Structure 1
Amino acid sequence: MRAIRALSAALLVLGLAAAPAAADASASASPSGDGKAPAQAGTSFRTATEIEQGRQATANGSTGDYFYWSFPADAGQRPTVHATVKLPQQHTTQTWQVDVYDGLRRRQACQYGAQTRTAAAGAASVDLTCVLRTVRAWSEPWANDPLPGTYYIRLTVVGLASSDLGLPVAAEVRADSKDIGGAAAVDGSLAKPLVPGIAVTSQKDGDDDRHAVLSDIRPDGGWSSGWWSDRWVWTGIGAILAALAGIGGYALTRGSGRPSRVPPGV
Structure 2
Amino acid sequence: MRKLFTLAAPAAALTGLLLLAPAATAAPSPSASPTGTAKPVLHSVGTSFLTATALAAGQDADVPVSTGDYLYWAFPASEGQTATVQVNVTLPEAADRHGAQTWTVELFDGLRRRQACTAGPQNGTAEQNATTLALSCTLRQIRSWAEPWSGDPLPGTYYIRLSTTDIPQQDLGLASQVRVHVAAKGGLDDAQPEGGSLKAPLVPPVNAGATASGAAATPAPSASAAYATAPVEEETHWYSDLFSGWNTRWWWTIAGGILAALAGVLGYTLTRHPRGHRPHHHPAAPPAPPQGNWQ
Provide the secondary structure at the position in 1 that maps to 2:117. Answer: coil
In the alignment, is the contact (CA less than 8 A) between 1:119 and 1:126 conserved in 2?
yes
Gaps of 5+ in 1: 1-28, 210-266
C-alpha distance after superposition, 1:2-57 (max 9, x if no partner): xxxxxxxxxxxxxxxxxxxxxxxxxxx85883663210100000000001110111
Distance 1:103 1:30, change over 3 A: farther
**TM-superposed deviation, 1:186:** 2.7
2:89 paired residue number: 85
Distance 1:31 1:194, change over 3 A: farther
Matches within 5 A, 1:57-136: 57-90=61-94, 91=97, 92-136=99-143
Q: Counterpart of 2:57 in structure 1: which amino acid?
A: Q
Cα separation, 2, equivalents of 1:114 and 1:79: 15
1:246 paired residue number: none
**TM-superposed deviation, 1:81:** 0.6
Distance 1:41 1:150, change over 3 A: same
Cα separation, 2, equivalents of 1:52 and 1:31: 14
Aligned-residue identity in percent: 45
2:252 paired residue number: none
1:227 paired residue number: none
In the alignment, is the contact (CA less than 8 A) between 1:31 and 1:55 conserved in 2?
no
Cα separation, 2, equivalents of 1:120 and 1:126: 10
Which structure is richer in relative contact order (CA contacts within 8 A, separation 6 or more)?
A: 1
1:196 paired residue number: 204
Decide which of 163, 176, 187 is 2:183's aligned counterpart: 176
Cα separation, 2, equivalents of 1:80 and 1:31: 21
Cα separation, 1, equivalents of 2:125 and 2:71: 18
Decide which of 151, 154, 168 is 1:147's aligned counterpart: 154
Cα separation, 1, equivalents of 2:190 and 2:87: 29
In the alignment, is the contact (CA less than 8 A) between 2:102 and 2:164 conserved in 1?
yes
In the alignment, is the contact (CA less than 8 A) between 1:37 and 1:51 conserved in 2?
no
**TM-superposed deviation, 1:188:** 1.8
Query: For the pair shown, which has the larger CA radius of gyration, 1 or 2?
Result: 2
Provide the secondary structure at the position in 2 that maps to 1:152. Answer: strand
In the alignment, is the contact (CA less than 8 A) between 2:143 and 2:192 conserved in 1?
yes
Distance 1:162 1:151, change over 3 A: same
TM-score normalized with structure 2 length: 0.56
C-alpha distance after superposition, 1:217-257 (max 9, x if no partner): xxxxxxxxxxxxxxxxxxxxxxxxxxxxxxxxxxxxxxxxx
Cα separation, 1, equivalents of 2:127 and 2:39: 37
C-alpha distance after superposition, 1:134-185 (max 9, x if no partner): 0001000110000000000000111011121111001111111120644633
Q: Counterpart of 2:142 in structure 1: which amino acid?
A: V
Distance 1:32 1:48, change over 3 A: farther
**TM-superposed deviation, 1:89:** 1.6
2:50 paired residue number: 46
Distance 1:162 1:131, change over 3 A: same
Q: How many residues align?
A: 178
Cα separation, 2, equivalents of 1:45 and 1:170: 21
**TM-superposed deviation, 1:122:** 1.7
Q: Which region of structure 1 is more displaced relative to structure 2, 94-103 or 158-167?
A: 158-167
Distance 1:134 1:32, change over 3 A: farther
Cα separation, 1, equivalents of 2:34 and 2:60: 12
Q: Counterpart of 1:130 in structure 2: which amino acid?
A: C
Provide the secondary structure at the position in 1 that maps to 2:73. Answer: strand
**TM-superposed deviation, 1:191:** 1.0
Cα RMSD of the aligned pairs, angstroms, is 2.7
Cα separation, 1, equivalents of 2:71 and 2:37: 24
2:168 paired residue number: 161
Q: Counterpart of 1:128 in structure 2: which amino acid?
A: L
Distance 1:108 1:63, change over 3 A: same
